[in-house]
């Protein structure tokens, strides 16, 4: 059955009744969590915890793919708020579990999409438009006038008269600040009212801005790496649809050290460009160790290419390490491996139009 909840006091009543009658409570936001998603999860978890129910927040994304500001919030709260992955959710859920979905209402945007039918009680709290993919058989409070899920959750905390820490006030303010682009969009009198309450609770706009800055600096660092250090090779005679592979490394400062996660993010970001079939990013993680992150779509098996020398992984996602003080030599070797890997028919997953390779085309 689908129930629409029209007002926030109604939502409060339903939350209270449903939390009380459930054996445990799971809270989930959207995949690739942002500040609004994680902040509202933590706020809702505060509410469920006041009813002394085992309460868990599900974040199933790989650590390396979570933005640094959000990752910091998750790391700092992992234990206090039982932040778990899908597998633990599957172990702990039962017929009396309550699932609260926040900052999202489409089924394909939550990591537990395939298990929604197993959950008897789902409450969706969101500020985005509904469509045909909106989670079925749930109670929904969807308020398009709210700036953010954190705005809704901050109001709920007020109605429940729950005290919360300065840190939590900061997370909620970060969520509102993100979704309103720092109070410039979708901002109503209620948004300001809620922000004032958070500041009363000790929220500090400087702290919130610092969280944003961390995201921004990391974004720029990876953009620079991509812009200044990417070369693209075509590995095919088929002019209509050549296999295109990108190789990214810091060519101006080849000895520069980055975090392993940065290489993964750069490769992920390269894969978003149309026509890139595989992306390799390489660089140092300490003075002598080179890390390689490899990603691909359907046409190249990067796991196979990587496993030969440097490491391993699966067809779409692989990585590895090698010790060397000449990164360009390693890149050259990698390009050869890719060439050999692609020319071996077995390495082409999901057979595309016939691909013949005679030589690597160089720029
Ligand atoms: Mn949001």
Domains and CATH numbers, the chain: 3-203 (3.90.1640.10), 230-347 (3.10.310.30)
Model pLDDT for residues 135-145, shown as the tens digit of each residue:
999 999 999 99
The three-state (H, E, C) secondary structure of 57-113, written as one string: EECCCCHHHCCHHHHHHHHHHCCCCCEECHHHHHHHCCCCEEEEEECCCEHHHCCCH
Beta strands across the sheet bearing 244-248: 230-234, 244-248, 278-284, 289-296, 317-323, 311-313
Which two tokens mark 157?
């905390």
Average confidence (pLDDT) over 159-171: 96
- Please report which confidence band the pLDDT of residue 242 belongs to, taking 50, 70 and 90 as the band edges: confident
Q: What percent of the chain has pLDDT over 90?
A: 74
pLDDT for residue 270: 94
Using DSSP's 3-state secondary structure scheme, residue 140 falls into strand
Inform me whether the pLDDT recorded for 261 exceeds 60.
Answer: yes
| CA 81 from centre of chain | 18
Backbone angles phi, psi at 335, to 5 degrees: -60, -40
Q: What separation in Å is there between the alpha carbon of 218 and the centre of ligand 1?
A: 21
Average confidence (pLDDT) over 195-199: 96
Integer-rounded Cα Rg, in Å, for the chain is 24
Average confidence (pLDDT) over 203-221: 87
Which two tokens mark 30?
């959207």
pLDDT for residue 358: 38
Q: Taking Cα atoms as reference points, which of 155, 51, 146 lies closest to residue 98?
A: 51
Q: What separation in Å is there between the alpha carbon of 149 and the centre of ligand 1?
A: 5
Q: What separation in Å is there between the alpha carbon of 139 and the centre of ligand 1?
A: 19
Q: What separation in Å is there between the alpha carbon of 32 and the centre of ligand 1?
A: 12
H helix intervals, the chain: 8-21, 35-50, 68-77, 86-92, 149-159, 166-179, 189-200, 205-229, 260-270, 302-307, 327-343
Model pLDDT for residues 291-349, shown as the tens digit of each residue:
999 999 988 899 999 987 788 889 899 999 999 999 999 999 999 888 887 764 444 44
Q: What separation in Å is there between the alpha carbon of 231 and the centre of ligand 1?
A: 36
Angle separating helix axes 205-229 and 166-179, nearest 10 degrees: 50
Q: Which residue has the higher pLDDT, 140 or 240?
A: 140
- Please report which confidence band the pLDDT of residue 31 belongs to, taking 50, 70 and 90 as the band edges: very high
Mean pLDDT of the chain: 90
Inform me whether the pLDDT recorded for 362 exceeds 50.
Answer: no
Interacting residues of 254 by C-beta distance below 8 A, sequence separation 6+: 283, 327, 328
Q: What separation in Å is there between the alpha carbon of 258 and the centre of ligand 1?
A: 30
Q: What separation in Å is there between the alpha carbon of 293 and the centre of ligand 1?
A: 31
Q: What separation in Å is there between the alpha carbon of 37 and the centre of ligand 1?
A: 6
Q: What separation in Å is there between the alpha carbon of 44 and the centre of ligand 1?
A: 14
Q: Which residue has the higher pLDDT, 3 or 359?
A: 3
Per-chain residues with Cβ under 5 A from ion ligand 1: 36, 103, 148-149, 179
Using DSSP's 3-state secondary structure scheme, residue 215 falls into helix
Q: What separation in Å is there between the alpha carbon of 207 and the centre of ligand 1?
A: 19
Count of helices and strands (H, E) across the chain: 11, 13
């Amino acid at each position: 059955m689908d129930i629409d909840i029209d007002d926030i006091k109604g939502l409060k009543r339903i939350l209270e009744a449903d939390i009380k009658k459930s054996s445990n409570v799971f809270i989930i936001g959207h995949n690739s969590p942002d500040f609004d998603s994680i902040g509202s999860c933590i706020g809702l978890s505060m509410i469920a915890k006041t009813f002394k129910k085992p309460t868990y927040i599900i974040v199933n994304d790989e650590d390396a793919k979570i933005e640094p500001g959000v990752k910091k919030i998750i790391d700092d709260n992992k234990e206090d708020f039982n932040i778990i992955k899908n597998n633990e959710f599957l172990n702990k859920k039962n017929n009396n579990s309550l699932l609260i979905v926040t900052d999202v209402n489409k089924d394909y945007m939550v990591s537990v999409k395939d298990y929604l039918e197993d959950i008897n009680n789902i409450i969706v709290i969101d500020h985005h438009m509904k469509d045909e993919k909106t989670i079925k058989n749930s109670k929904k409070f969807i308020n398009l006038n709210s700036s953010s899920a954190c705005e809704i959750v901050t109001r709920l905390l007020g109605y429940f008269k729950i005290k919360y820490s300065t840190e939590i006030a900061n997370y909620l303010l970060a969520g509102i600040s993100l979704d309103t682009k720092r109070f410039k969009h979708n901002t109503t009198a209620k948004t300001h009212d809620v922000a004032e309450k958070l500041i009363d609770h000790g929220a500090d706009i400087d702290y919130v801005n610092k969280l944003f800055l961390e995201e921004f600096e990391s974004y720029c660092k990876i953009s620079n790496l991509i812009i200044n250090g990417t070369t693209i090779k075509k590995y095919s005679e088929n002019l209509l649809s050549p296999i295109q592979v990108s190789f990214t490394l810091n060519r101006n400062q080849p000895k520069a050290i980055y975090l392993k996660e940065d290489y993964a993010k750069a490769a992920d970001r390269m894969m978003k460009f149309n026509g890139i079939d595989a992306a390799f990013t390489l660089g140092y993680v300490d003075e002598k160790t080179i890390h390689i992150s490899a990603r691909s779509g359907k046409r190249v098996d990067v796991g196979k290419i990587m496993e030969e020398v440097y490491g391993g992984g699966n067809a779409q996602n692989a990585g590895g390490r090698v010790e060397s003080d000449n990164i360009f030599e390693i890149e050259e070797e990698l390009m050869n491996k890719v060439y050999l890997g692609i020319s071996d028919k077995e390495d082409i997953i999901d057979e595309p139009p016939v691909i013949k390779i005679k030589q690597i085309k160089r720029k």
